[in-house]
Amino acid sequence: MRKVTRDIIHASYEVAKKTHEKQMTLKQGLDLLQSKYGMNRNTATDYIYTYVHMVKGERFCRTTNIDGTEYYLTKIYEEGGPPKLLNALNALRLHLDYYEATRNTSVRARRAIYNRFFDITTEASASDLRERCTGVFSRNHRMYLEHAAQVANGNPQQIVTFRSSSVWRSAIGLLEQGIDVQIYFAVVDEGPIIRFKAWLRRVILHPDRRDIEVKRLLRLAPPKTKTEGLWKGKVLTLFAISDCYKLPRPFPMSRLKKVRDGQFIAEDYGYSYSLVTLDDEEISIIPKASDVVEPPARFEAVVTRVIRDIALVRRLKRLHEDRCQRCGLRLELRDGSAYSEGHHLKPLGRPHEGPDIPENLLVLCPNCHALFDLFGIQIEIRQLRAHPEHRLADEYIAYHNSEVRRRRQMKLGEKP
């Protein structure tokens, strides 16, 4: 069998894209790869199959070589940006989980590729997604939502699984970015009112009952739905939630604004899924001033604060001339001064109890500081701007990266 070279990989990608876009038939594509590039027909089928499932964000069982996986992700990102790359990464993650479970083997090289491209999507569009989307609108039955709320009352982190006949593709993008996604639930047959809220933790598109993760999630469905299976193939999305609770002050779903077109959801909106934003002027569930009869109560409290070495942070900022150690940005103000922020890789407060020393400190711009505070991105010391008088300790970088991985696993409903 001829080795799959980079030239063949490049050609297979173009053929796969054309067959997917109906510019040529599968047979024509296979004939071309076989006759012109000498590619084995079964191998060519695998590469085309992989591309199609990457674009759709679906699990694939066949595989390509390492160079093929990396090249496909690179091209999908170049041509479709972060949203398309997120689809491909979701497909790759499902493939890796399947491969490890069925072959009882490790796929470290492909896991490393997945992590690297995942970081690219985080850097490229996390802030944009946060600005445009604050949650998901959905509907479900009261008995199931009350069950989820009861579970959350006992253990807020315990997930409960629901089914949907809609494709929650865009929600996967948010979760893959490490963004916390809320779900606003209207209750079926109880009018256009948002009555429950929860956090979205896991999404699987086009679930396959043979998949190990699908089996696990189905076992976490409300008791009365456990025998429903996948609705004879009509379930297009499995999604898991946690921290569900009944709103003390329900509000009309017509005050949720759809991300897709910027329009508020109509009271007769017939769908059960949409990405939404919350307009501060339109959707405040805080009582209006006219509704408040008495001023809020006050109480005295003793607050314990961590004492930080402000002089140390100032010295490091001067060393780096207020230039971000991650992205290189120097934020200049109108008066000619510059602005930067100090960040502890291992935070000072509980439960982290990190030290206030130069080896644990980074100088960052506000955007990068937000990503680090949220443990939204992994780092390597070689990626950071260095200064001979300021050296970071490997142990604190390792601590930060371990927290990033732990929180991603928690969002996926996995044990850290």
Strand, helix or coil at 17?
Answer: helix
Q: Are residues 222 and 147 in contact, defined by beta-carbon separation less than 8 angstroms?
A: yes
322-350 burial, b if ≥16 CB within 10 A, otherwise e? bbbbbeebeeeeeeeeeebbbbbbbbeee
Count of CB atoms situated within 10 Å of the CB of 189:
8
Neighbour order of strands in the sheet with 181-187: 160-164, 237-252, 193-205, 181-187, 135-140, 273-278, 256-258
pLDDT at 413: 62
**CA 365/CA 327 separation, integer angstroms:** 8
CA dihedral 199, 201, 204, 208 (to 10 degrees): -110
SS3 sequence, 154-182? HCCCCCEEEEECCCCHHHHHHHHCCCCEE
Among residues 128, 130, 136, which one has the least CA distance to residue 166?
136
Domains and CATH numbers, the chain: 6-126 (no CATH), 133-291 (2.30.130.30), 310-411 (no CATH)
∠ Cα 231 234 237 (to 5°): 100
Among residues 309, 299, 252, which one has the least CA distance to residue 278?
252
Q: Are residues 196 and 160 in contact, defined by beta-carbon separation less than 8 angstroms?
A: no
pLDDT at 105: 63
pLDDT at 297: 52
Spans of the chain below 70 pLDDT: 1-2, 104-106, 119-134, 176-178, 261, 278-310, 334-336, 349-350, 411-416
pLDDT at 286: 37
Q: Are residues 197 and 149 in contact, defined by beta-carbon separation less than 8 angstroms?
A: no
Summarised one tens digit per residue, pLDDT across range 286-339 is: 343 444 444 555 545 444 444 455 678 888 988 998 899 998 888 887 666 788
